[in-house]
Amino acid sequence: MSEQNIHWLLRKENIRKLWIGFIIILMLTVLAGFFVHQHESFGIEDSVGFFAWYGFVTCVGMVVFAKLLGFVLKRPENYYDDDTNQGLNENGVEHD
């Protein structure tokens, strides 16, 4: 597959540009916290970069929770393919 056929988000040069862009946006957001007065409800919200690290920790928590939920809800690969009782009702009598 040629470089032109790859989606623009998957090209190596664009991935690097996106990372740099996201890091700049994060730094600007944290820097803006020094100049903008935020009306915090809790004392911890006044800490430096609170919303950046709180968002990061919350995102990591959601990913971990989703992984754990996947282990709980996981079914065998052939869960829906089991056709041993197909066509039989609960008494073992064949039906349509």
Report yes or no on 9 lying in a domain.
yes
Report yes or no on 82 lying in a domain.
no
Task: Using a cut of 0.85, tell me whether the model's pTM lies above it.
Answer: no
pLDDT tens sequence across 33-85: 888 887 888 888 888 888 888 989 999 999 999 999 999 998 888 777 756 65
9 Cβ neighbours under 8 A, 6+ residues apart? 15, 18
Based on the fold, state whether residues 6 and 27 are members of the same structural domain. yes
Report yes or no on 60 lying in a domain.
yes
Report yes or no on 94 lying in a domain.
no
Report yes or no on 68 lying in a domain.
yes
Specify the number of domains making up the chain: 2
Domain containing residue 4? 1-37
Report yes or no on 62 lying in a domain.
yes
Report yes or no on 29 lying in a domain.
yes
From CA 26, how far away is CA 9, in angstroms rounded? Answer: 20
Q: Up-side HSE of residue 19: CA atoms within 13 Å toward CB? A: 7
